[in-house]
Amino acid sequence: MKNILSIILVSILTFTFQLSYADSQCPQLYPLGHVITVSNTTELCNQEYVALYDISRKANILSAEKFDASISHAPRLNEFHSDVRLNISDRATNDDYLKSGYDKGHMAPAADMTTPSIVNESFLLSNMTPQEPTLNRLKWKMLEENVRSTATGITYVLTGAVYSNSPKTIGVDNIPVPSKYYKCVWYSSIKTACYKADNVPHADVTDATLEEAEAALNIKE
């Protein structure tokens, strides 16, 4: 029965996420090792997470991570920095967030990372979106902590940002502000949990489905 359920889940992912092993430099970081492709994005591989970044919008669309709950994790470092892999005209800077009213919200959380150098990678601005402060510091933080506390062994986490057709922007580089976030957690090949929250003051985090997250994030070939 377990093998049948695993095959069903992989089949669902193959249909909706348009999975492909081609062109990825870090397939091991995607949920269950299956590469997700999103139109008009650049893959930015890091040691413990991968970001899919839309250069034309200067926007993180999603970050996927392979989280090992059995390994101790490194202390937080508040050293936000631009991603030099991107052209200057295609990346955010710290000045974009200055006095914007938004936090630099991690997509792949720093607290999930295992060494100081890997924590430093999580502070790349290509892993950030403008996140409403009360969401970032309260309910979304609680969700991240809950994922870490309930994970056992290898866990895959995907965090996605949804943008409207004409999003609000911040800074001279016009960094778009997401309207909503999704987080899906693969605790095993047959146990998946998804959550969502609007990017507004005092937003609640509520349950979502994998299918809803896929549709909202517009993940396609």
Residue appearing with tokens 């009213």:
101
Partner residues linked to 157 by β-bridges: 65, 185
Read off the tokens for 161.
């940002």
CA-atom Rg of the chain in angstroms: 16
If you ran DSSP here, which 8-state letter would residue 127 be given?
G
Question: Is 106 labeled as catalytic in the residue annotation?
Answer: yes
If you ran DSSP here, which 8-state letter would residue 1 be given?
-
| Cβ-based neighbour number of residue 119 at 10 Å | 20
DSSP for 171-183, written as a single string = TTTTEEPPSEEEE
Residue appearing with tokens 């990372």:
113
CB 21 within 8 A of CB 27: yes
CB 184 within 8 A of CB 210: yes
Tell me how far apart the alpha carbons of residues 16 and 53 are, in angstroms, rounded to a whole number: 19
| Cβ-based neighbour number of residue 18 at 10 Å | 16
Q: Of these residues, 34, 73, 106, 202, which one is catalytic? A: 106
Residues marked as catalytic = 106
